[in-house]
Amino acid sequence: MGKHDKDKDKDRKRVKQSQKEAKAADKAGDRGGHHAAKAHGLPARVDDSLPSSRAELLALHGEARRRRAAAPYNSPAHHAASKNPC
């Protein structure tokens, strides 16, 4: 038995345990945890301040990138330009 075989056995046991828990949750109908395709129970939030067309959005994005690129790194101007996600 090698030095790391014990670790592999522990990992296998941990995986088997989590698989058993997942199967039990499936049988019980409890889907707990996060799933990307599942709704989170919150209504969607639409940002009305963004332009409606793709071309306008790309122009806005380009301006923001130019502001970030022009500002010295880690300066107040850079931080201000980085806060605007577009």
Q: What is the pLDDT of residues 34-57, one digit of tens each?
A: 555 555 666 677 778 888 899 999
CB of 77 within 8 A of CB of 71? yes
How high is the pLDDT of residue 58?
93
CA distance 13 to 50: 50
Whether residue 81 has pLDDT greater than 90 = no
Domains of the chain by residue range: 56-86
Say which residue the tokens 């790309």 belong to. 58
DSSP string, 9-59: HHHHHHHHHHHHHHHHHHHHT---S--TTS--SS-----TTS-SSHHHHHH
CA distance 70 to 66: 6
Dihedral, CA of residue 48, residue 50, residue 53 and residue 59, to nearest 10? 170
